Every structure is written in C-alpha cells, then in structure tokens.
A and B are shown apart, each in its own frame.
Chain A
Amino acid sequence: MAGKGIRIEGLKKRYGSGDTAVDALKNVDMQVPPGEVVGLIGPSGSGKTTLLKCLGAVIEPTAGRMTLGDEVIYDDEWKVGDLRALRRDKIGFIFQAPYLIPFLDVTDNVALLPMLAGKSNAESRQRATELLQALDVEHRAKAMPSQISGGEQQRVAIARGLVNRPPVILADEPTAPLDSERALAVIRILNQMARQHETAIIVVTHDEKIIPTFKRIYHIRDGVTYEEAGEGRGFE
C-alpha cells in the first residue's frame, strides 16, 4: 500500500493578494491508500471545491506537497510538465451531474478517454464494454446519454472515471441527484471498483444518506482538514 494512492501534506491555496487575499486552503493533510473510498465533508465555503480542483491539477496550489502513487506531482510547484496528460492518465473524475458528452453514445463516452490517451479504437471500446458490463449498463451501450436514466448516466460516468485505470478518482457529490437506493448503489459500486482496480477514491459529499458508508471521513472547515473514523464498513 505504501507509495501508492494519494498523499497530501500541508497543502495551501491562497486566492488574490494583499488585503484582498483569501486563504481557501490553510493546511490540508490527507492520505488515501489504494482500494479505499474516503469521504470529504464540509459546509459551503469550507474549501472542498478548491481542494478538489487542486487535487485534480486544475488549479495550482500555493504551497504543500502532493504525491500520486510513487510520483510527487506537486512540491511547492508542479513537478509534472503536462497537467492535461496527468489528468487524463492518472486522475479519474466523477461529477455531481454525469456530464456525459451528449453527442457520443454510452460506449464512446467511456472509450473516449483511452482513445485520447492513444489507445486503439478497438482496445478502448473493449475496455469500455468490460466496465459497462461490470456496472450493469452494458445493455445501454449503444444508447445516447439522453436516452438513459439518471442512475444509468451516473454509472456510465463512473465507468468513464475508471476506464484509464487511474490511481485516484475524485468524485464531486456523485450521489446528489439520486434517491437513497441509487445513491447507495453508486457508493457500493465505487467501493467495488476501488478494491478491484486498487484505486483511491475521494468522495466530496453533503449527502447524509451515504456519509455512514465511509470507513474514513475527512472534514474540512475553513481550509483545514480533520480526519475522523467513519461508521461505515465500505460494503465489504
């Protein structure tokens, strides 16, 4: 487990400068080993989204250190030249809304990522099909996103997040639009995928329904994280 997953130490993010500077992240420490799903909980304005953007290499932190697997990706500055390739190959994203590409069918929505990474169309679609099978949406493989239900869309989005087998997945309120049953189903799937693919998954959520399912929870308040043991057993 050591050397894998994601490790964040002393991460800081300041917006602006001088009198108008805002410290969105003051001191964030997190460690998520492969195969584990952790919750990240906090009130509005606590810095959740900023943290997610820093972890996703979308915005640059001000200071701190981030290690992904064995690779230090940030140490007071980016250590990776191509952040877009880093996001494509090593970080999976699952959003609050599925945000599937509306003009691609279900299979191609998932297969697009490996194609962007240079895999052949056949190999990409094969990998997409395997994941769609695992997530029980293979029967909608040729459907367009507008033709499938919200729950199915979210499962396709999960497949997209997993398809490049990234070491870490960032899930931004993935169950918000779902009812209890479907929300729990999504968390169950995330746990299964985390174990199967040795993936570290961070789930940002407000959703009371799923909070009890996490074994570990990170609370964030005023830009500072606190770790707490959760009640959940991660659907083991």
Chain B
Amino acid sequence: MISLAGRDIMHAWGKFVFTGVGLGLLIGVTLSMAGIYRGMVDDGKALLDNSGADIWVVQKETLGPYAEPSSIYDDSWRGIRSMPGVARTANITYLTMQVRHGDRDVRTMVTGITAGGPGTPGWPPYLVAGRHITRGHYEAVADIAGGFKLGDRLRIRRNGYTVVGLTRRMVSSGGDPMIFIPLKDAQEAQFLKDNDAIRQQRRRTAANPAFNRPQVPGLVDSVIASQSTNPYVNAVLVQIEEGHDADGVAESIRRWKRLTVYTRSQMEDILLGKLIATSAKQIAMFLVILSIVSAAIVAFIIYTLTLGKIREIAVLKLIGTRNRTIAAMIMQQAIALGMIGFVVGKITATLLMAPIFPKYVLLEPLDSVRGFVAVVVICILSSIIAIRAALKVDPAEAIGG
C-alpha cells in the first residue's frame, strides 16, 4: 500500500516544509525556554560547585549569602576553623553591582576572596587564561562571559583593578559573570561611601556629645576610625575533613557558634526552591502557553490542510477507502509536520538562540527527547479535529448533485 500521507507531503513539499519551519521556530522558542530554566539551575549549581565549600556559615536566621543579605564578623572563621571535622575555612563576600569596563557598565557579582591559593574555598577552581590574584589589592580575576580580557582595567566603586586572570562558567545564580577581588577590597567596596557622606558622618559623630567628651581625648577619632572600616563578611565557607559528615559538622557549628549553617544540599534547596523558584514558575507558565499555542497552530494547520482536500477525501471514501486509512493519512501528516518542526526547532534553539541569548541556555539531551515526545503527542491530539472533519465528509459529495 502506498503512503498517501507521504505522497501528499511530497506533492506539496514546499508548503509543508515552510509550515514546518514556522512551527519549528515556535518549538525552538519552547525548547529554548526549557534550556533557560536548565541554565538557571546549572548556574546555581555552578555557583555552589565553584565556591568549593561543603558548608556555608551565615548570619543567624538568614538564607544568605545568595538568597538573602548575610553579615557575620570577619574573624568568625577562626572559631569555626577550630571545630572538629573542619579542614579549611575562608571568608567570602558577594556583591552584585555594575562594574565600569571601558565605556560600558557590566552587571557582575563581585566576590571578595580571602588570601590563599587555588583550592582555598571561594577561589575560582581553574583559570582559562592568566594567573590567580597574588597581590593584596587591585587585582581581579574575571569571567569571560562579561567580555573581559587580560589586562583590562575595571572600576569598582572608586578603585581601579587590573584583570590578571580569566575564568569560564563562574556566574551568579542570575547568570551574572563573577569578578574575584581580594577580600579587603571587597569589604571596602561593600562599605565605601562617597566623600561627602564620609565628611557628613564624621561631622555628625563629632557633634554627638557621647562620642566627643572633653574628658576623653581621642575617643571621637577612635569612633570615626571604627566607622571607616568594615569588619563584616557575608559568609564563611567551610571545607570538611575527609571522613566527617557534613550534617554533623554543620550541627556542631550551629550549636556552638550560634550561627546559621547550610550544607550543600540545603543550599541547593534554597537556590532552586527559593531564589529561582519564581523565575522557574514563569518559565513553566511560558512553556505551558507555548505548548498550547503550538498545539493550536498544529491543529489549525492540519485542519486547514484537510479542508483543502475535502473533495479528494470524498472520492477516497466513495471508492472504498477505509476510515482508518484516511485517519492514518491525516495523523501521519500531523506527525511529519511535528517532526519537521522539531528538527527545525532543535536546530534553531541549538545554533541560533542558545549562542546569542543573554542567559546561559542548557539544552539537555533528555529534554530534547521529552520535547520530541511532547511534540508527537501534541500533533496526534491536534490531528483529531481534522480527522473528525474528514470522517464526517459525505462520499456523496464526490457525486455532486
């Protein structure tokens, strides 16, 4: 038996392919939306992976340092380091801000890392070019996603930094490229005010009789000095010793240091369940809407194609073609249209949309398989309307009268 669907497609392949391309662009957008969600999840996981931490110690009763502001003293690490099962600790600060790069502003996550070397928690695990930070000030390691190059000059607040190293896939959970600078610089950047504000603060402190007592010379200078430094960091990153259980160490720190402590799995829950939950819901909603629109378009196209063949269908029925042969013809065409659309959509998402999209788009093979199955199911369901219309065609229409 010849394939009626195949012959019909080959007969009007141009119309069919163009329709498939149109549908494919829509499927491409749908696949890209799924890829954007996966990218967000991957960004979040990359952030945790790249920190090199097993445990995050943050301000009590906060979801810091990624989902909420967190502030703990920068000497807390000493006490944490002495806890059983703790191998390494490191202060860390995170500050999402605009960084001046040449003539443009780049949205980045400036990360203050403690002195140390590769392997220290918070340090970028590898570089794609250049070297790590070796000086105490004004050097930066930046992610290439921000368009930075070695030797570039960056302006963070009032200070200039030289890019000495480049990383890849070091991004915030929002996809902003990370810039690593020395911790002291980062603390200053978080705290640093403009000159007018500093002068005003000094004046207000000096005018306060509690700080400026005639009998205590030097008190006001001490207070002003303490106001000019930032003794806080956002979190302490902890690596645990081999053979120790992260939950056990975390519980110990919680009990003795009265700080909030998150393990890797808890931090992942915060990132995925809270930080990107709203975005994920928005994307899921878009996916549902796009799927419905795709289904409606496939249904409309197949219905229109079928209506254009009413006379042929009447003739086929009159000469004895079984209903299932006619239904199969329509369904096969719908599936073929979906397959063309899927191939075009996959190519569009992979080669056109993912590279130019401003966020990381992660197209996972399993998502493609799910997408393919969804497209086929949608096409089958969408063809039902057309099949119903075809089966209602009266073979007498071929005779006329």
- A57-99 interface code vs B (CB 8 A; 1 in, 0 out): 0110000000000000000000000001101110001011001
Cβ–Cβ contact B1 & A115, under 8 A: yes
Cβ–Cβ contact B322 & A103, under 8 A: no
Cβ–Cβ contact A58 & B399, under 8 A: yes
Cβ–Cβ contact B319 & A88, under 8 A: yes
**In the docked arrangement, what's the CA distance between A49 and B396, Å?**
9
Cβ–Cβ contact B312 & A84, under 8 A: no
Q: Smallest CB–CB gap between B120 and chain A, Å?
A: 70
Prevailing SS type, chain B contact patch? helix
Among B312, B394, B395, find the residue whose CB has the most chain A CB atoms closer than 10 A: B395
Residue A121 at the chain B interface, CB threshold 8 Å: yes
Cβ–Cβ contact A99 & B320, under 8 A: no
Residue B209 at the chain A interface, CB threshold 8 Å: no
Residue B72 at the chain A interface, CB threshold 8 Å: no
Residue A53 at the chain B interface, CB threshold 8 Å: yes
Identify which of B4, B8, B10, B315 contacts A99 (C-beta below 8 A).
Answer: B315
- B300-337 interface code vs A (CB 8 A; 1 in, 0 out): 00000000000110011111111001000000000000
Residue A116 at the chain B interface, CB threshold 8 Å: yes
Residue A117 at the chain B interface, CB threshold 8 Å: yes
Residues of A within 8 A of B12 (CB): 103
Cβ–Cβ contact A89 & B320, under 8 A: yes
Residue B204 at the chain A interface, CB threshold 8 Å: no
Cβ–Cβ contact B318 & A87, under 8 A: yes
Residues of A within 8 A of B325 (CB): 116
**In the docked arrangement, what's the CA distance between A58 and B316, Å?**
13
Residue B398 at the chain A interface, CB threshold 8 Å: yes
**Given contacts A84-B320, A84-B322, A102 and B400 within 8 Å (CB-CB):** no
**In the docked arrangement, what's the CA distance between A53 and B325, Å?**
23
Identify which of A49, A53, A95, A101 contacts B316 (C-beta below 8 A).
Answer: A101
Residues of A within 8 A of B394 (CB): 58
Cβ–Cβ contact B2 & A112, under 8 A: yes
Q: Smallest CB–CB gap between A199 and chain B, Å?
A: 16
Q: Smallest CB–CB gap between A4 and chain B, Å?
A: 21
Q: Smallest CB–CB gap between A71 and chain B, Å?
A: 16
Cβ–Cβ contact B322 & A104, under 8 A: no
Residues of B within 8 A of A113 (CB): 319-320
**In the docked arrangement, what's the CA distance between A58 and B396, Å?**
6
Residues of B11-54 at the interface with A, using a CB-CB cut-off of 8 Å, are: 11-12
Cβ–Cβ contact B2 & A108, under 8 A: yes
Residue A26 at the chain B interface, CB threshold 8 Å: no
Cβ–Cβ contact B399 & A172, under 8 A: yes
Cβ–Cβ contact A59 & B396, under 8 A: yes
Closest residue of B by beta carbon distance from A108: B2
**Given contacts A52-B399, A52-B401, A108-B2, A144 and B11 within 8 Å (CB-CB):** yes
Residues of A within 8 A of B8 (CB): 103
Residues of B357-401 at the interface with A, using a CB-CB cut-off of 8 Å, are: 394-396, 398-401
Residue A48 at the chain B interface, CB threshold 8 Å: yes
Cβ–Cβ contact A95 & B398, under 8 A: yes
Residue A160 at the chain B interface, CB threshold 8 Å: yes
Cβ–Cβ contact B2 & A53, under 8 A: no
Identify which of A58, A104, A116 contacts B321 (C-beta below 8 A).
Answer: A116
**In the docked arrangement, what's the CA distance between A15 and B8, Å?**
37
Residue B244 at the chain A interface, CB threshold 8 Å: no
Residue A154 at the chain B interface, CB threshold 8 Å: no
Cβ–Cβ contact B396 & A99, under 8 A: no
Q: Smallest CB–CB gap between B395 and chain A, Å?
A: 5
Q: Smallest CB–CB gap between A161 and chain B, Å?
A: 9
Residue A153 at the chain B interface, CB threshold 8 Å: no
Cβ–Cβ contact A103 & B11, under 8 A: yes
Residues of B within 8 A of A89 (CB): 320
Closest residue of B by beta carbon distance from A89: B320
Residue A33 at the chain B interface, CB threshold 8 Å: no
Cβ–Cβ contact B399 & A56, under 8 A: yes
Residues of A within 8 A of B255 (CB): none
Q: Smallest CB–CB gap between B345 and chain A, Å?
A: 26
Cβ–Cβ contact B399 & A160, under 8 A: no
**In the docked arrangement, what's the CA distance between A52 and B318, Å?**
12
Cβ–Cβ contact B401 & A49, under 8 A: yes
**In the docked arrangement, what's the CA distance between A50 and B316, Å?**
20
Residues of B165-215 at the interface with A, using a CB-CB cut-off of 8 Å, are: none
Cβ–Cβ contact B400 & A49, under 8 A: yes
**In the docked arrangement, what's the CA distance between A32 and B8, Å?**
38
**In the docked arrangement, what's the CA distance between A85 and B325, Å?**
13
Residues of B within 8 A of A102 (CB): 11, 312
Residues of A within 8 A of B78 (CB): none
Identify which of B311, B318, B322, B401 contacts A50 (C-beta below 8 A).
Answer: B401
Cβ–Cβ contact B401 & A93, under 8 A: no
**Given contacts A102-B11, A102-B312, A115 and B401 within 8 Å (CB-CB):** no
Closest residue of A by beta carbon distance from B2: A108
Identify which of B10, B317, B318, B319 contacts A103 (C-beta below 8 A).
Answer: B10
Among B4, B317, B395, B401, find the residue whose CB has the most chain A CB atoms closer than 10 A: B401
**In the docked arrangement, what's the CA distance between A59 and B398, Å?**
13
**In the docked arrangement, what's the CA distance between A184 and B392, Å?**
37
Residue B258 at the chain A interface, CB threshold 8 Å: no
Among B317, B322, B325, B399, find the residue whose CB has the most chain A CB atoms closer than 10 A: B399
Using CB atoms and an 8 Å cutoff, list the residues of chain A in contact with chain B: 48-50, 52-53, 56, 58-59, 84-85, 87-89, 93, 95-96, 99, 101-104, 108, 111-113, 115-117, 121, 144, 160, 172
7 contacts between A and B (CB under 8 A): A87-B318, A87-B319, A87-B320, A101-B4, A103-B8, A104-B2, A172-B399
- In the A-B complex, the 3 residue pairs with the smallest Cβ-Cβ separation, listed nearest first, are A88-B320, A49-B401, A103-B11
